[in-house]
């Protein structure tokens, strides 16, 4: 790879492990006296001059407790926002302290001031570099955290190196930290983008639920446009989503929403037939009805996010809701309603955001929230912004059926002591009136009644709203206009006065007697009015002059003269304009002809619409949606593609697929817990997993699959294996464990599910199906004595009760110690005991192992001579094809397929479950349907038994 | 994501700041103060604000503002939820979340904030994990620490952080193994003057206190799970089993936690446990008014109603109240105009009554809005929805735990409003 040649060079100069580190510390000490001079200089401006001096002394002391005390006080200063930067040299010396709390506080300090004190900050770098190699994962992680938080450009190459290394760390916690560090480095130096993308690509493949959220976050910040990186990880992300921590879920869901909009076709092709299929889940019914078929991956996303609606984290619920809104077929979106309404019980701030989103949704989809209308009723204790949003939603939900209920609710709001809210309610009534024609009159009458309200804001708002309503259908409403003209004297709010004047002017021909009288009054009070009222007075005068000049000519001229000398130039302008327009003189001839048409043109009625009308241009749940403005870093949601891009990009290659018959090959993975998520675990099969994970132990022989971690092996090997998410239920042969005749009604069968055993890695998983064939229920079914007594067996939990005809499947683990000796134990009920035994076929004592052909040959080379068993066999006709040959081998033994470059040679690799010894199987098909079977393993007894089984399977039809 | 956090007290002093990325000057808070000024009441400050270069997302609780500074697009709920978690964590660590306690424990607060976010993205928010990394302060420990110089900070990564069940720490041991569940239901209701239910619903929560050794796997089942309409779970609850069998199956966190919250379906009629007869009137002349309140039990399922309290937000014009209560005590706060009548236990034989006169500011117009009443109450040993826990089973461990379930019903947002039915908007649908 080519990065600038400068990068590795500067790495070398700084990356001087041990020796350099000591030198650095020395430099640190030397530099103290010089910089303390500057510190004193700082001190003059600091109120804590004295205090900081003694802090410095404490830090220099040899007593740990004094240093800690000093650091605590310094952190106190930082917390208060006081400047403590002059202590930097004294603090940085303690960066390598043994006391972990002291060290942590020093880290806090460093991160805060490193940017200001870059040169001194460099002194600490070597300490972190050393800590990055510490065997304790917490120390490695926190070293990386601090190192990447020191925003000093010169250490960019070091950070890059550290990130790359941490990305392959065995501890998922460290890998998570490295995902965070990617974003820090990117913000420090965007030039590193390409290299960082490589790391992101690697981390996206990570199977740990701990890492997933953080790396997607890094992806979103560094390269959100590289959708192609997601393809291969899409299904994995969908599948592990439930088990990712809450915060990661939010980020992943948001990213997947964007992804899905670029990859799938729209499920919204409107077809009314669809609405009848309200069945929750599957689209089977719809398939025949319409050509649209949802991509299974699209469905997978919808299905796997749905349970998260039950999350306690409001952000998770919201993100699922927005995902459904943007991705689900229209009739499925309503599954989110209940959960959104539930969030309204949460904190005020949560309500605010959720209500905003509901407001946007309810414009398009009234039906979703209508059943929950009462949840949006305003309470007197709600904050103003909550009240306003609820009002908005109620207005959106109003229709013919519920309008009377809503209006009744509104009238209590009008009386609210919160006048701003009362005013908003009046606006809302106006909107209901325009939207629902049945209630226009009722609303109008109600609003007119409000005109006699004692509160000025209520009256003013009513006037404004009435004005808008009247404009829509002025013909029948001269009574109202008359009423308003009467009220005019008592109304003082200028906006309301202006509105009334405009109304009278606009419809002056309908109130021919009143209008001139109002103008007369206005002429008297003109000089004392507010500007908007004056402007409307001039308008009224002009309109009356045109329609009724006989009565109003003089009045108009008087008003125009007053306006001419007004202090406000707008009014002077307007007056001049109007005069030219309406009073004909020799200059203005041309225009005044049209004066009537200009002033009395019919005006379109205003549209009263929701403030949330166009909010849906933003993805729901985002900051941009909340502010109704495009926020920095907002990622657009693309439109559905007309034609779906290639679906196969999301297919994940099976490690080595056997065509058409893949199942048992996939799980080429050591018996670790990675494959199993908490949410999948049943009641009786997860006790051991935590212990295992915590200790990070075992499975040191897994190096075959992970190649990169050889450099940093510290005896810890948390397996980073690749596995394939195809369930690997091999050919299930079920065997009888207990016949119902001998078992007094209890019968049991067992099979080997060929999954890694969850209890202990050296156990073989066995699933036992217990059936009660008797006519009474059986109680306390459990495992009793076993023989040999040393048999290591993981019992299933006691089954308290098994009803007649019922059956239950339980899983257990048995350590067969790589022998086919039967495991004998007693199956007990409350009253009886039955001796049973499980005899494993040798092939079940193996686990598949994945390796390359090269590795295979290399390992085979080590297992020659005594360790090799072979035989030539005659293949049955059905087994002569390479496919069926593989199939037969896999049905006999739980091994993995190794890719082969030769057509006639098939290779299979496995390990014994108990001791982990390699078992290599080679089948070389020859002419005339014979084949040479070779088994290489140091377990020679197993080899011969396996050979016998294979022979039998391949020879028979 | 989250760039900085400022903690601001009621009077507008910034008393703590923490930055997870580059330092942002605290002058950014000026925009917030401006909005705060405009909003008058702290509750009315908009939670999301825009400034020329940053976005401010804040929450207000326990008389403190938690103000976070954001630089790029982020789901606002993500930040809000996180800020509430921070406040809850303080509560959990120090027993309360106040300016004083945060200042007293500033080092622990800082260490906590450092662990909770990395580069502004949540790293550890589970109380169990955090407590292993940073131990909560106790008097004993602080004495020991000063003597021995040992620290509050854990040296190894908590096991919870790595496992798929981060909420539980490994190696839990108790001598007495016990699991207690409190089923707490709140009635949210709006009643009109005549006692008719305008709106009523039940919100329930199951609080658990589980002190069990090892890795217990619990299954909790209900007699009548069909009652539950909408539920939300602690992450430990296996959703699939709930879907298929309607049982709660989970490996519990250690200690106290909220197992689930639920909503009882609207189809079920909500029993309203009390009624209030009220008569509050103001006279047109003489600047005075009358108040007469009587409370009685309604549907209490034979249980006693305790902790009755009625709060009335009086109109601004009401200067003082001269009342007599047959039971309990009343107070009238002149500044906030809030009348509180603390009744206590409700005696069905002798109904509590509060009556007397109200004096109004002279000359003030007759208040137009009739005040609404807020009701508080508590009924022990009753879940008003009728929800019953059937059984609790434990798997995975051998010992026999003590188990217990307690039921309590409380009033949530329980309001009696006075609709004035002399309606101006008499809607009859069609003309």
pLDDT tens digit sequence for A370-388: 888 888 988 878 888 999 9
Name the minimum distance, in Å, from the CA of B144 to any CA of chain A. Answer: 12
The whole-model pTM stands at 0.70
Cβ under 8 Å to B: A residues 405-434: 407-408, 410-412, 415-417, 429
Q: What is the CATH number of domain B274-380?
A: 2.60.40.1170
Which pLDDT does position A351 carry in this prediction?
Answer: 94
- C-beta atoms of B107 and A75 within 8 A: yes
Residue B193 dihedral angles phi and psi, to the nearest 5°: -55, -35
Higher-pLDDT residue of B47 and A700 is B47
Pick the residue from chain B with its C-alpha nearest to A408. Answer: B425
Q: Is B16 on the interface with A (CB under 8 A)?
A: yes
Asked if residue A280 belongs to a domain, the reply is no
Are the CB atoms for A295 and A307 separated by under 8 Å? no
For range A901-930, the mean pLDDT: 83
Tell me if domain B2-148 and domain B178-270+382-416 are identical in fold: no
> Is pLDDT above 50 for A466?
yes
Name the minimum distance, in Å, from the CA of A136 to any CA of chain B. Answer: 7
Are the CB atoms for A725 and A669 separated by under 8 Å? no
Name the minimum distance, in Å, from the CA of A651 to any CA of chain B. Answer: 26
For range B190-211, the mean pLDDT: 83
Residues A149 and A83 in one domain: yes
Strands (E), A387-487: none
- What is the SS3 assignment for A747? strand
Which pLDDT does position A692 carry in this prediction?
Answer: 38
Domain CATH code at residue A831: 2.60.40.1150
Residues A768 and A914 in one domain: no
CA dihedral B15, B19, B24, B26 (to 10 degrees): 0
Q: Is A75 on the interface with B (CB under 8 A)?
A: yes
Which pLDDT does position A274 carry in this prediction?
Answer: 43
- C-beta atoms of A79 and B238 within 8 A: no
In terms of Cα–Cα distance, which of A102, A100, A107 is closest to A125?
Answer: A107
Which pLDDT does position A719 carry in this prediction?
Answer: 34
Which pLDDT does position B229 carry in this prediction?
Answer: 82
Are the CB atoms for A666 and A724 separated by under 8 Å? yes
> Is pLDDT above 50 for B48?
yes
Which pLDDT does position B73 carry in this prediction?
Answer: 92
Non-local (6+) Cβ contacts of A324 within 8 A are A302, A305, A332, A333, A335, A336
Question: Residue A786 — pLDDT band, cuts 50, 70, 90?
Answer: confident
Task: Pick B235's closest partner by Cβ from A217, A246, A347.
Answer: A246
Are the CB atoms for B154 and A139 separated by under 8 Å? no
- C-beta atoms of B80 and A353 within 8 A: yes
Domain CATH code at residue A254: 1.25.10.10
Name the minimum distance, in Å, from the CA of B349 to any CA of chain A. Answer: 33
Question: Residue A588 — pLDDT band, cuts 50, 70, 90?
Answer: low
Domain boundary pick from A211, A237, A263: A263
C-alpha neighbours within 13 Å on the C-beta side of residue B221: 11
Question: CATH assignment of B2-148, given 3.90.1640.10, 3.30.450.60, 3.40.50.2300, 3.40.47.10?
Answer: 3.30.450.60
Average confidence score pLDDT of chain B: 83
Residues A69 and A116 in one domain: yes
Are the CB atoms for B302 and B377 separated by under 8 Å? no
Among the ranges given (A295-299, A917-921, B404-408, B418-422), the one the predictor scored with the smallest mean pLDDT:
B418-422
Residue A609 dihedral angles phi and psi, to the nearest 5°: -135, 170
Q: Identify all chain B residues contacting A175, using CB atoms and an 8 Å cutoff.
A: none
pLDDT tens digit sequence for A496-510 = 888 888 888 888 888
Distance CA A137, CA A817 (A): 33
In terms of Cα–Cα distance, which of A842, A100, A448, A639 is closest to B133?
Answer: A100
Residues A787 and A898 in one domain: no
Output the six-digit token pair for B401: 């735990």
Which pLDDT does position A349 carry in this prediction?
Answer: 93
Residues A866 and A785 in one domain: no
Q: Identify all chain A residues contacting B251, using CB atoms and an 8 Å cutoff.
A: 678, 686
Among the ranges given (A104-108, A532-536, B53-57, B298-302), the one the predictor scored with the smallest mean pLDDT:
B298-302
- C-beta atoms of B17 and A411 within 8 A: no
Residues A63 and A93 in one domain: yes
Residues A925 and A790 in one domain: no
> Is pLDDT above 70 for A672?
no
Question: Residue A816 — pLDDT band, cuts 50, 70, 90?
Answer: confident
Sign of the torsion formed by the C-alpha atoms of B191, B196, B198 and B201: positive
Residue with tokens 């599954």: A335
What are the angstrom distances between the C-alpha of A929 and each of A138, A346, A744, A871, A892? 59, 72, 49, 14, 20
For range B286-302, the mean pLDDT: 82
Which pLDDT does position A249 carry in this prediction?
Answer: 93
Q: Identify all chain B residues contacting A78, using CB atoms and an 8 Å cutoff.
A: 110
Ordered strands of the B48-50 beta sheet: B14-19, B2-8, B64-70, B55-61, B48-50
β-strand partners of B16: B7
Which pLDDT does position B160 carry in this prediction?
Answer: 61
Q: Is B311 on the interface with A (CB under 8 A)?
A: no
Q: Identify all chain A residues contacting B123, using CB atoms and an 8 Å cutoff.
A: 176, 180
- C-beta atoms of A623 and B76 within 8 A: yes
Cβ under 8 Å to B: A residues 286-325: 307, 310-315, 317-319
Q: Is B81 on the interface with A (CB under 8 A)?
A: yes
Name the minimum distance, in Å, from the CA of A150 to any CA of chain B. Answer: 9
Q: Is B143 on the interface with A (CB under 8 A)?
A: no
Cβ under 8 Å to A: B residues 110-129: 110-111, 114, 118-119, 121-123, 125
Which pLDDT does position A288 carry in this prediction?
Answer: 46
Which of A356-360, A747-751, A930-934, B311-315 has maximum average pLDDT? Answer: A356-360
- C-beta atoms of A377 and B198 within 8 A: yes
Residues A170 and A215 in one domain: yes
Asked if residue A926 belongs to a domain, the reply is yes
- What is the SS3 assignment for B92? helix
Higher-pLDDT residue of A57 and A757 is A57
Q: Is B233 on the interface with A (CB under 8 A)?
A: yes
Residues A125 and A191 in one domain: yes
In terms of Cα–Cα distance, which of B234, B216, B203, B193 is closest to B387?
Answer: B203
Pick the residue from chain A with its C-alpha nearest to B218. Answer: A683
For range A71-88, the mean pLDDT: 88
Q: Identify all chain A residues contacting B258, using CB atoms and an 8 Å cutoff.
A: 312
Question: CATH assignment of B178-270+382-416, given 2.60.40.1170, 3.40.50.1970, 2.60.120.260, 3.30.360.10?
Answer: 2.60.40.1170
Higher-pLDDT residue of B332 and B240 is B332
Helix ranges restricted to H, B117-225: 127-133, 139-148, 159-162
Pick the residue from chain A with its C-alpha nearest to B41. Answer: A383
- C-beta atoms of B155 and A136 within 8 A: yes
Say how many Å lie between the first and final Cα of chain A, rounded. 54
Among the ranges given (A346-355, A624-633, A941-950), the one the predictor scored with the smallest mean pLDDT:
A941-950
- C-beta atoms of B157 and A183 within 8 A: no
Output the six-digit token pair for A644: 């779906």
- C-beta atoms of B155 and A209 within 8 A: no
Q: Most B CBs within 10 Å: which of A153, A357, A623, A672, as the mutation test of the B interface?
A: A623
Domain CATH code at residue A911: 3.30.310.10
Higher-pLDDT residue of B22 and A759 is B22
Ordered strands of the A778-787 beta sheet: A799-802, A778-787, A823-828, A833-838
Asked if residue A37 belongs to a domain, the reply is no
> Is pLDDT above 50 for A844?
yes
Name the minimum distance, in Å, from the CA of B311 to any CA of chain A. Answer: 12
Average confidence score pLDDT of chain A: 78
Q: Is A134 on the interface with B (CB under 8 A)?
A: no
Question: In this prediction, what percent of chain B has a pLDDT beyond 90?
Answer: 24
What are the angstrom distances between the C-alpha of A557 and each of A301, A515, A546, A549, A721? 74, 16, 13, 11, 93
Question: Residue A37 — pLDDT band, cuts 50, 70, 90?
Answer: very low
β-strand partners of B333: B338
Are the CB atoms for A301 and A256 separated by under 8 Å? yes
Domain boundary pick from A793, A811, A840: A840
Predicted-complex ipTM score? 0.85
- C-beta atoms of B162 and A172 within 8 A: yes
Domains held by chain A: number: 3
Distance CA A543, CA A537 (A): 10
For range A486-497, the mean pLDDT: 82
- What is the SS3 assignment for B18? strand
Domain ranges of chain B: 2-148, 178-270+382-416, 274-380
Domain boundary pick from A840, A874, A892: A840
Which pLDDT does position A707 carry in this prediction?
Answer: 38
Residues A793 and A861 in one domain: no
Distance CA A235, CA A207 (A): 12
pLDDT tens digit sequence for B58-112 = 999 989 999 999 999 999 999 999 999 999 999 988 888 999 999 988 988 998 9
> Which domain range does residue A820 map to?
734-840
Question: Residue A137 — pLDDT band, cuts 50, 70, 90?
Answer: confident
Question: Residue A43 — pLDDT band, cuts 50, 70, 90?
Answer: very low
For range A696-720, the mean pLDDT: 38
Which pLDDT does position A681 carry in this prediction?
Answer: 56
Which pLDDT does position A726 carry in this prediction?
Answer: 34
Which pLDDT does position B153 carry in this prediction?
Answer: 67
Among the ranges given (A535-549, A628-642, A658-672, A880-894), the one the predictor scored with the smallest mean pLDDT:
A658-672
Among the ranges given (A8-12, A67-71, A268-272, A404-408), the one the predictor scored with the smallest mean pLDDT:
A8-12
- C-beta atoms of B368 and A694 within 8 A: no
For range A199-207, the mean pLDDT: 90
Q: Identify all chain B residues contacting A690, using CB atoms and an 8 Å cutoff.
A: 159, 163, 165, 168, 170, 215
Residues A829 and A880 in one domain: no
Which pLDDT does position A44 carry in this prediction?
Answer: 45
Question: Residue A625 — pLDDT band, cuts 50, 70, 90?
Answer: very high
For range A385-393, the mean pLDDT: 92
Question: Residue B6 — pLDDT band, cuts 50, 70, 90?
Answer: very high
Q: Is A170 on the interface with B (CB under 8 A)?
A: no
Q: Identify all chain B residues contacting A428, using CB atoms and an 8 Å cutoff.
A: none
Which pLDDT does position A454 carry in this prediction?
Answer: 72
Distance CA A906, CA A888 (A): 12
Residues A87 and A226 in one domain: yes
Q: Identify all chain A residues contacting B376, using CB atoms and an 8 Å cutoff.
A: none
Q: Is B282 on the interface with A (CB under 8 A)?
A: no
pLDDT tens digit sequence for B141-193 = 666 665 555 556 666 666 666 666 778 877 788 888 999 999 999 888 888 77
């Amino acid at each position: 790879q080519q990065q600038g040649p400068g990068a590795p060079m500067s790495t070398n100069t700084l990356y001087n492990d041990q020796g350099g580190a000591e030198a650095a510390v020395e430099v640190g000490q030397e530099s103290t006296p010089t910089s303390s001079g500057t510190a004193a200089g700082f001190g003059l401006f600091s109120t804590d001059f004295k205090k900081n001096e003694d802090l410095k002394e404490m830090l220099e002391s040899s007593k740990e407790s004094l240093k800690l005390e000093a650091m605590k006080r310094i952190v106190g200063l930082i917390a208060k926002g006081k400047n403590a930067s002059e202590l930097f040299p004294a603090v940085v010396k303690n960066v390598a302290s043994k006391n972990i709390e002291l060290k942590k506080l020093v880290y806090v300090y460093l991160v805060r001031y490193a940017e200001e004190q870059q040169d001194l900050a460099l002194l600490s770098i070597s300490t972190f570099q050393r800590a990055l190699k510490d065997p304790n994962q917490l120390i490695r992680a926190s070293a990386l955290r601090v190192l990447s938080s020191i925003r000093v450009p010169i250490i960019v190459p070091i950070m890059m190196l550290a990130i790359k290394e941490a990305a392959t760390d065995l501890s998922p916690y460290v890998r998570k930290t490295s995902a965070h560090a990617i974003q820090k480095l990117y913000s420090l130096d965007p030039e590193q983008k390409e290299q960082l993308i490589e790391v992101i690509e690697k981390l996206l493949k990570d199977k740990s639920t701990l890492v997933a959220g953080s790396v997607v976050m890094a992806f979103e910040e560094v390269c959100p446009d590289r959708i192609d990186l997601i393809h291969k990880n899409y299904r994995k992300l969908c599948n592990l989503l439930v088990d990712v921590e809450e915060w990661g879920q939010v980020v992943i869901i948001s990213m997947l929403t964007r992804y899905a909009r670029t990859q799938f076709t729209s499920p919204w092709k409107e077809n009314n037939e669809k609405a009848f299929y309200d069945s929750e889940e599957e689209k089977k019914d719809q398939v025949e009805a319409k050509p649209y078929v949802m991509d299974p991956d699209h469905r997978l996303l919808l299905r796997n996010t749905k349970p998260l609606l039950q999350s306690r984290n409001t952000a998770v619920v919201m993100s699922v809701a927005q995902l459904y809104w943007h991705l689900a077929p229209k009739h499925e979106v309503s599954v989110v309603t209940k959960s959104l309404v539930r969030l309204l019980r949460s904190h005020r701030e949560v309500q605010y955001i959720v209500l905003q989103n509901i407001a946007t949704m309810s414009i398009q989809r009234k039906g979703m929230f209508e059943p929950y209308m009462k949840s949006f009723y305003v309470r007197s204790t709600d904050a103003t912004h909550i009240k306003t949003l609820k009002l908005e939603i109620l207005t959106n939900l109003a229709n013919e059926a519920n309008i009377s209920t809503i209006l009744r609710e509104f009238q209590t709001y009008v009386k609210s002591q919160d006048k701003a809210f009362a005013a908003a309610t009046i606006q809302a009534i106006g909107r209901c009136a325009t939207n629902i024609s049945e209630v226009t009159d009722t609303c109008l009458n109600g609003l007119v009644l409000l005109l006699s309200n004692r509160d000025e804001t209520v009256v003013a708002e009513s006037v404004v709203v009435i004005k808008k309503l009247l404009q829509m259908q002025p013909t029948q409403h001269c009574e109202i206009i008359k009423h308003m003209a009467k009220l005019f004297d008592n109304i003082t709010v200028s906006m309301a006065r202006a509105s009334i004047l405009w109304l009278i002017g606009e419809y002056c021909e309908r109130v021919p007697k009143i209008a001139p009288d109002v103008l007369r009054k206005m002429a008297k009070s003109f000089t004392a009015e507010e500007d908007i009222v004056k402007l409307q007075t001039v308008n009224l005068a002009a309109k009356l002059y045109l329609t009724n000049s006989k009565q109003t000519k003089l009045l108009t001229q008087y008003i125009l003269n007053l306006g001419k000398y007004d202090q406000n130039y707008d009014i002077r302008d307007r007056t001049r304009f109007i005069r030219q327009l309406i009073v004909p003189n020799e200059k203005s001839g041309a225009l005044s002809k049209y004066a009537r048409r200009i002033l009395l043109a019919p005006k379109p009625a205003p549209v009263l619409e929701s403030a949330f009308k166009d909010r849906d241009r933003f993805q729901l749940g985002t900051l941009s949606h909340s502010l109704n403005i495009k926020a920095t870093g907002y990622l657009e949601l693309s439109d559905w593609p007309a034609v779906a891009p290639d679906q196969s990009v999301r297919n994940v290659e099976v490690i080595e697929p056997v065509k058409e018959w893949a199942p048992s090959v996939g799980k080429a993975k050591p018996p670790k817990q990675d494959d199993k998520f908490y949410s999948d675990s049943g009641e009786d099969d997860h006790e051991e997993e935590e212990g295992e994970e915590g200790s990070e132990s075992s499975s040191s022989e897994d190096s075959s699959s992970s190649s990169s971690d050889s450099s940093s092996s510290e005896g810890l090997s948390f397996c980073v294996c690749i596995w394939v998410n195809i369930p690997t239920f091999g050919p299930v042969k079920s065997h009888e464990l207990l016949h119902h005749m001998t078992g007094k009604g209890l019968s049991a069968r067992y099979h080997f599910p060929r999954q890694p055993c969850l209890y202990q890695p050296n156990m073989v998983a066995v699933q036992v199906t217990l059936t009660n064939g008797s006519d009474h229920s059986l109680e306390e079914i459990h495992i009793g004595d076993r023989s040999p007594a040393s048999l290591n067996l993981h019992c299933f939990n006691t089954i308290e009760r098994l009803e007649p005809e019922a059956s239950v499947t339980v899983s257990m683990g048995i350590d067969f110690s790589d022998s086919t000796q039967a495991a004998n134990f007693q199956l007990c009920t409350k009253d009886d005991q039955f001796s049973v035994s499980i005899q494993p076929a040798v092939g079940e004592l193996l686990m598949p192992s994945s390796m390359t052909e090269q590795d295979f040959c290399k390992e085979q080379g080590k297992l020659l001579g005594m360790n090799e068993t072979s035989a030539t066999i005659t293949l049955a006709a059905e087994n002569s094809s390479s496919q069926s040959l593989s199939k037969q081998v896999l049905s006999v033994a739980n091994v993995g397929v190794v890719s082969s470059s030769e057509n006639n040679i098939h290779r299979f690799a496995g390990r014994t479950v108990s001791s982990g010894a390699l078992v290599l199987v080679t089948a070389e098909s020859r002419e005339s349907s014979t084949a040479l079977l070779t088994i290489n393993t140091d377990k020679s007894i197993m080899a011969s038994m396996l050979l016998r089984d294979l022979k039998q399977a391949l020879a028979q039809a | 994501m989250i760039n900085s956090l400022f903690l601001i007290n009621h009077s507008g002093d910034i008393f703590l700041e923490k930055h997870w990325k580059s330092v942002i000057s605290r002058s950014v808070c000026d925009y917030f103060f401006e909005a705060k000024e405009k909003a008058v009441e702290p509750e009315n400050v908009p939670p999301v604000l825009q400034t020329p270069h940053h976005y401010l997302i804040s929450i207000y609780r326990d008389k403190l503002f938690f103000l976070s500074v954001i630089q790029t697009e982020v789901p606002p709920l993500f930040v809000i939820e996180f800020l509430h978690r921070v406040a809850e964590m303080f509560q959990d660590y120090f027993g309360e979340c106040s300016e004083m306690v945060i200042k007293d424990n500033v080092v622990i607060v800082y260490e906590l904030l450092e662990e909770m976010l990395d580069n502004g993205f949540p790293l550890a928010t589970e109380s169990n994990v955090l407590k292993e990394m940073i131990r909560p302060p106790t008097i004993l420990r602080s004495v020991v620490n000063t003597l021995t110089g040992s620290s509050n900070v854990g040296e190894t990564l908590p096991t919870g952080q790595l496992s798929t069940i981060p909420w539980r720490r490994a190696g839990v041991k108790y001598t007495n193994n016990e699991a207690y569940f409190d089923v707490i239901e709140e009635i949210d209701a709006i009643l009109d003057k005549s006692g008719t239910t305008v709106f009523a619903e039940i919100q329930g929560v199951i609080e658990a206190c589980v002190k069990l050794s090892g890795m217990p796997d619990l299954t909790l089942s209900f007699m009548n799970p069909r009652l539950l309409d909408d539920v939300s779970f602690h992450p430990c609850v296996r959703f699939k089993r709930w879907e298929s069998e309607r049982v709660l199956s989970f490996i519990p966190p250690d200690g106290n936690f909220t197992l689930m919250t639920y909503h009882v379906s609207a189809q079920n009629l909500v029993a309203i446990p009390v009624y209030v007869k009220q008569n509050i009137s103001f006279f047109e002349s003489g600047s005075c008014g009358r108040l007469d309140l009587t409370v009685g039990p309604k549907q209490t399922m034979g249980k006693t109603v305790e902790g009755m309290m009625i709060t009335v937000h009086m109109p601004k014009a009401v200067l003082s109240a001269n009342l007599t209560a047959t039971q309990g005590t009343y107070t009238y706060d002149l500044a906030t105009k809030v009348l509180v009548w603390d009744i206590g236990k409700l005696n069905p034989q002798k109904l509590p009554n509060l009556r007397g006169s109200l004096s109004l500011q002279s000359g003030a117009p007759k208040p137009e809005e009739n005040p609404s009443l807020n009701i508080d109450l508590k009924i022990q040993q009753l879940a008003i929805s009728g929800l019953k826990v059937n059984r609790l089973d434990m798997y995975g461990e051998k010992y026999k735990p003590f188990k217990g379930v307690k039921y309590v019903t409380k009033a949530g947002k329980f309001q009696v409003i006075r609709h004035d039915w002399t309606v101006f908007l008499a809607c009859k649908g069609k003309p």
